[in-house]
A = this chain, B = another copy of it.
Amino acid sequence: MDLHYTTAQDEFRAEARAWLEANVPGQPLPSFDTAEGFAQHRLWERKMYDAKWSAVSWPVEYGGRGADYISWLIFEEEYYQSGAPGRVGQNGIFLLGPTIMEVGTQEQKTAYLPSMASGDVVWAQAWSEPNAGSDLASIAATAVRDGDEWVLNGQKIWASRAAWADWCFGIFRTDPAASRHKGLTFFLMPLNSPGITVRPIAQLDGDTGFAEIFFDDVRVPDANILGELNKGWSVAMATAGFERGVSLRSPARFTEAAARLVTLWRTHADKADTTLADAVTDVWIQAEGYKLHTYMTVTHMLDGGTIGAEASLNKIFWSELDVRIHELALQILGPEAERIDGPFERWVDGFLFSLSGPIYAGSNEIQRNIIADRVLNLPKGA
């Protein structure tokens, strides 16, 4: 074990920090869940791509730097510390991209990855359906073969970024005879395909961060299937694994938030109240613990290991930590916490967003079941 960074890693960190300091917008961009903000965030993705920072862990040929997970974590730490904009390309770069590299054809890699890294094509994810939320396996949307094309019908919901994204990915039932996890196939398609209707859904803060997508005889060529026919579930689970595991919520996000909370405590809290101080200290410890846990996990992956159901432990941990960090911030803010357009807007927005954490990417109740069933080998529930 050696927790010192190598010289190369230190140099990589310095390079990332220098570029970010020189290029991060002075003013925060408008929310990427607004039309204007989305456009500005797309430009930011392009700017990062031009400097090869948009997908550092990707191979060079697709616009990355071939950086290993450790370097990726270092970049993420610098990224969050710099106050850089949120990643509107996240669904693609962190979730779909790695999946395409794992199971995609060479044609698909060439076709989708560079435009994904550059932000020219922003991807929306379309997992859930009105009756397939926690119970994702009860997918009802169908894809029927017609010549060398597929005809898609059905409805997806909670599709993040879909309001303004260019393409989307999701799973559809291609074998009507099969049930549950079987007979599903993973499709990629442009959101402007004839027959697709997108209805944005306003979330807790009023912005439209996700949407419903209606498929009405949408025609998609065979080539847009990712992975094998009728094997969509395992492809989707690989993607979901990335989501719950290290890639969606790098620890830097929480160590940075914990550091901001400490600053807020210094400037606004009653120092005689050790109850609050201990609570702030506790979340700081939790954030450190999550960071260390992630470094341990990625070392394991660098050694050729994989993460399975353990990813559910991460998802519960970071989502509950995020809520706790923001609860404490609002407690410190007191009456200011009721105002959402003021100097503390980021904390109030962050609180509202944090409440989605225990729900999306599989509710924490489902994650606890997964841990019990697959890590502790308890008998499946009725």
Q: A275 to B275, alpha carbons, bound, how many Å?
A: 4
Instruction: Please state the number of chain copies in the assembly.
Output: 2
Q: Using Cβ atoms and an 8 Å threshold, which residues of chain B touch A275?
A: 274-275, 278
Which residues A273-324 have CB closer than 8 A to chain B?
Answer: 273-275, 278
A299 → chain B closest CB, angstroms: 35
Minimal Cβ-Cβ distance residue in B for A270: B274
Q: Using Cβ atoms and an 8 Å threshold, which residues of chain B touch A273?
A: 274
In addition to A273-B274, A274-B275, A275-B278, 5 A-B residue pairs with Cβ atoms within 8 Å of each other are A272-B274, A274-B274, A275-B275, A381-B382, A382-B382
Q: Using Cβ atoms and an 8 Å threshold, which residues of chain B touch A382?
A: 381-382
A142 → chain B closest CB, angstroms: 29
Minimal Cβ-Cβ distance residue in B for A278: B275
Q: Using Cβ atoms and an 8 Å threshold, which residues of chain B touch A272?
A: 274
A331 → chain B closest CB, angstroms: 13
What per-residue 1/0 map shows which CB atoms of A356-382 lie under 8 Å from chain B? 000000000000000000000000011
A378 → chain B closest CB, angstroms: 15
What per-residue 1/0 map shows which CB atoms of A91-110 lie under 8 Å from chain B? 00000000000000000000
Q: A274 to B279, alpha carbons, bound, how many Å?
A: 12
Minimal Cβ-Cβ distance residue in B for A279: B275
* A272, A278, A382 interface centre (most CB from chain B within 10 Å): A278
Q: A381 to B275, alpha carbons, bound, how many Å?
A: 40
Q: Using Cβ atoms and an 8 Å threshold, which residues of chain B touch A381?
A: 382
Q: Using Cβ atoms and an 8 Å threshold, which residues of chain B touch A274?
A: 272-275
Q: A275 to B273, alpha carbons, bound, how many Å?
A: 8
Q: A179 to B327, alpha carbons, bound, how many Å?
A: 50
Which residues A19-63 have CB closer than 8 A to chain B?
Answer: none
